[in-house]
Amino acid sequence: MSRENVEVALQVMDALSRRDASALVSLADPDVQWHSLFAMGDHFSGYDGTRRYMSDLDDAWEVGRADVEDSLAVGDLVVMVGRIHYRGRAGGTESETPVLWLLKFREGRVLRFRAFRDPEQALEAVGLRE
């Protein structure tokens, strides 16, 4: 199942880059939780939250593209590293930042999504740092 989860995780990243809420809903568990670097709220829950998440991203960001450089699957977790390229609608300044994404799966669908700029935060989130 781990390899299949990586494939779904890559589809999630593509859907996020395209801001395709319908695709995200189809890849997500009904209890999905989205924790984003760029979202306006703390997190978004369920299918309605998925649609709000995409709407908020679209309102704030003119460009938002995720480039995954590597991935690792262990059980129901997928960890991906890469970069986000972005440009805000208000300021117009384009930038990029390194990111680690952590996705948890249930029965082949995304249950939790979280993005981290700081690898230490990611390690703490999975209980590997004190």
Number of domains in the chain: 1
Residue linked to tokens 């993005």:
115
Average pLDDT over residues 43-50: 92
What pTM, to 2 d.p., does this model score? Answer: 0.85
Residues sharing a CB contact under 8 Å with residue 85, sequence separation 6 or more, in sequence order: 63, 64, 65, 66, 67, 94, 95, 96
- 58 lies in some domain: yes
Q: Are 129 and 111 in contact (CB under 8 A)?
A: no
Domain limits at 52? 2-118
Q: Which band of pLDDT confidence, cut at 50, 70 and 90, is reported for residue 92?
A: confident
Q: Is residue 40 in some structural domain?
A: yes
Task: Give CA separation, 126 vs 39, 62, 77, in Å.
Answer: 21, 32, 10
Position 23 scores a pLDDT of 96
CATH (domain of 23): 3.10.450.50
In the predicted model, is pLDDT for residue 128 greater than 80?
Answer: no
Q: Does residue 126 form part of some domain?
A: no
Contact at 8 Å (CB) between 78 and 71?
yes
Give mean pLDDT, residues 48-66. 80
CB 5 within 8 A of CB 103: yes
